[in-house]
């Protein structure tokens, strides 16, 4: 009888253990192995973009005479918000704008500068803000400057002279001209883009691939002879419409410029015009797919490249964002162009883009969200103040914390399939299969681990075991969450429904952390591994 009782107790215990194991097995799993390395996360993936478009410069970055501006005319509230977002590199002055921009119009005494018709975005360009004003702003903002030269209506000589003006200390005419303009020391611009979106039929001075590489190669030659240490970025695909051939463009650029350039620039804008949440949340995976295709092309062409002492070619996603509401004809020109108002689902997509850049850290070494303020931007102003849009908060969290080595992690969770859809206006339909509800990246840096998780599920919190397969977690993990009352929640001048909230820390249990990720959320967990 006593033995029977013991057997029954043992059976009950085994059932309880099995039940516990079953519950654990039902959790999603995120496996972390610090030996499975993708590459080093480059700080330049946390970049932004300032273009002479709408109210990005005038009324955004720069508003002389405003009580909110400093002695140089820079909006102090915008500058502080940009500094708090830790923008590591800022692209300037375009964008479509640059393909008819002549940099000499924007230097020298302001009252002698000539206003021009701005043909890309249909407004008057006063040229009050130019090279030196931007450099003053970049220094105050503590961001690396990244200039794009005019490869549309501009000449290779004009590009060379701009490099001379910015980077040569003294002697030749344009270096002395900079000194005459009040800047005795060179600006030392390291990063230069050889034009913008030259594959696009909308670009002023649009070229086919063969003509573009001829012009770009000669411009690069003159620019690098003037300033040998500069890094050059080629204009890769921005046009993925059905009648375009982006792969052929990229292959030509990489093949013909493989000995010349340091990066190839790719662009992507996504949207939700059909109001399909799950389709929209999967759009960063299109960026990831395109990244892998171009990475393969780079690997192929590099076999025959001649680059002694230089890094391989990397990818710069130097324009990316959500953009679809402010994309009608009446909202794409003039002084209030492209003023997109963002909601929570947009912020989750931006977090997804940043996860993609980290998961591809071996090849993606630069990224620039377009743009900084007012124009499809994380910061929005009026004459009385500003507010931080929903997309501001994932950008701030990543740029403030996610540095080190990107890890190749394993994620096991429920998935969904999308319908066919447009990722952006006019672009090809695509279909994503087995999209994981949990979108994850992880970065390891001298014992510190940062895990970034987007829960794409609109209605369901997902419980997950984060499992350390090398070493163990120590202490508690900080938890930061970007979320809101619903997926359409927005911010405005008088309210902030979507923001970063620091949650209670979560304690680790040796090699496992169990955490429940709320529906429609982005969560960052930060702690240590030993």
| DSSP collapsed to 3 states, 286-301 | HHHHHHHHHHHHHHHH
pTM, whole model, 2 decimals? 0.94
Residue 526 has what pLDDT? 98
Helices (H) and strands (E) in the chain, counts: 11, 29
Residue 329 has what pLDDT? 82
Estimate to the nearest angstrom the gap between the alpha carbon of 4 and the chain centroid.
66
Contact between 365 and 316 under an 8 Å Cβ cutoff? The reply is yes
Residue 19 has what pLDDT? 44
Tell whether the model's pLDDT for residue 204 goes beyond 90: yes
Residue 6 has what pLDDT? 53
Q: In 3-state terms, what secondary structure has residue 244?
A: coil
In this structure, the dihedral spanned by the alpha carbons of residues 217, 218, 224 and 226, taken in order and rounded to 10 degrees, is -170
Rounded to the nearest integer, the mean pLDDT of the chain is 94
d(CA 266, CA 207): 17
Residue 300 is among the residues annotated as catalytic for this protein: no
Residue 426 banded pLDDT, cuts 50, 70, 90: confident
Domains in the chain and their CATH numbers? 27-37+407-529 (2.60.40.1180), 42-403 (3.20.20.80)
Residue 328 has what pLDDT? 85
Residue 5 has what pLDDT? 52
Residue 9 has what pLDDT? 53
Query: What residues does 30 pair with on adjacent strands?
Result: 411, 466
Residue 425 has what pLDDT? 74
Q: Is the dihedral of CA 58, 59, 62, 65 positive or negative?
A: positive
Of these residues, 197, 256, 340, 427, which one is catalytic?
197
Tens digits of residue pLDDT in 45-100 = 999 999 999 999 999 999 999 999 999 999 999 999 999 999 999 999 999 999 99
The b/e string for 234-266 (b: 16+ C-beta within 10 A; e otherwise) is bbbbbbbeeebebeebbbbbbebbbebbbbbbb
Tens digits of residue pLDDT in 111-123 = 999 999 999 999 9
Estimate to the nearest angstrom the gap between the alpha carbon of 452 and the chain centroid.
15
Tens digits of residue pLDDT in 205-248 = 999 999 999 999 999 999 999 999 999 999 999 999 988 999 99
Of these residues, 51, 133, 164, 319, which one is catalytic?
319
pLDDT more than 90, % of the chain: 90
Q: In 3-state terms, what secondary structure has residue 129?
A: coil
Q: Is the dihedral of CA 183, 187, 193, 196 positive or negative?
A: negative
- Cis? peptide before 95, omega within 30° of 0: yes
Residue 319 is among the residues annotated as catalytic for this protein: yes
Tens digits of residue pLDDT in 360-416 = 999 999 999 999 999 999 999 999 999 999 999 999 999 999 999 999 999 999 999
């Amino acid at each position: 009888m006593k033995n029977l009782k013991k057997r029954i107790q043992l059976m009950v215990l085994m059932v309880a253990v099995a039940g516990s194991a079953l519950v654990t097995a039902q959790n999603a799993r995120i496996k972390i192995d610090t030996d499975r390395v993708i590459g080093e996360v480059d700080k330049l993936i946390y970049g932004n973009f300032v273009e002479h478009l709408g109210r990005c410069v005038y009324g955004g970055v720069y508003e002389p005479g405003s009580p909110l501006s400093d002695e140089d005319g820079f909006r102090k509230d915008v500058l502080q918000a940009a500094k708090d977002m830790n923008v590591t590199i800022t692209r300037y002055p375009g964008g479509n704008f640059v393909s008819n921009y002549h940099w000499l119009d924007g230097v020298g005494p302001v009252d002698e500068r000539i206003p021009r018709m701005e043909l890309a975005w249909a407004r008057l360009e006063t040229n009050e803000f130019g090279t030196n004003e931007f450099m003053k702003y970049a220094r105050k903002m503590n961001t690396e400057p990244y200039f794009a030269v005019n490869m549309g209506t501009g000449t290779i000589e004009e590009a060379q002279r701009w490099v001379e003006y910015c980077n040569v200390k003294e002697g030749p005419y344009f270096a002395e001209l900079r000194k005459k303009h009040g800047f005795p020391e060179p600006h030392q611009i390291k990063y230069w883009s050889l034009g913008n979106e030259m594959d696009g039929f909308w670009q002023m001075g649009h070229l086919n691939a063969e003509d573009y590489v001829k012009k770009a190669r000669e411009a690069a030659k003159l620019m690098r002879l003037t300033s040998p240490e500069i890094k050059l970025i080629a204009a890769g695909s921005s046009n993925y419409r059905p009648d375009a051939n982006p792969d052929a463009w990229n292959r030509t650029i990489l093949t013909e410029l493989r000995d010349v350039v340091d990066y190839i620039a790719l662009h992507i804008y996504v949207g939700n015009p059909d109001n399909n949440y799950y389709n929209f949340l999967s759009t960063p995976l299109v960026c990831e797919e395109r990244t892998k295709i171009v990475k393969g092309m780079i690997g192929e062409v590099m076999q025959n490249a001649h680059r002694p002492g230089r890094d391989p070619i990397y990818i710069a996603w130097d324009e990316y964002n959500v953009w679809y509401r402010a994309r009608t004809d009446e909202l794409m020109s003039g002084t209030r162009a492209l003023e997109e108002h963002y909601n929570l689902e947009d912020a989750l997509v931006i977090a997804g883009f940043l996860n993609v850049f980290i998961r591809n850290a071996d090849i993606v070494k630069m990224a620039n969200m377009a743009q900084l303020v007012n124009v499809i931007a994380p910061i929005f102003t009026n004459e009385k103040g500003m507010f931080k849009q929903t997309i501001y908060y994932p950008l701030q969290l990543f740029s403030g914390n996610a540095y080190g080595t990107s890890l190749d992690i394993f994620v096991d969770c429920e998935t969904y399939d999308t319908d066919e859809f447009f990722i952006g206006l006019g672009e090809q339909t695509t279909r994503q299969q087995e999209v994981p509800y949990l979108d994850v990246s992880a970065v390891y840096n001298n014992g510190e681990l940062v895990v970034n998780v987007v829960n794409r599920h609109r209605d369901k919190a997902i419980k997950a075991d984060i499992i350390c397969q090398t070493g163990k977690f120590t202490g508690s993990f900080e938890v930061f969450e970007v979320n809101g009352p619903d997926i359409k929640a927005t911010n405005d001048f008088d309210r902030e429904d979507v923001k970063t909230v620091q949650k209670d820390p979560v304690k680790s249990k040796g090699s496992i952390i169990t955490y429940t990720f709320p529906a429609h959320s982005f969560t960052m967990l930060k702690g240590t591994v030993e």
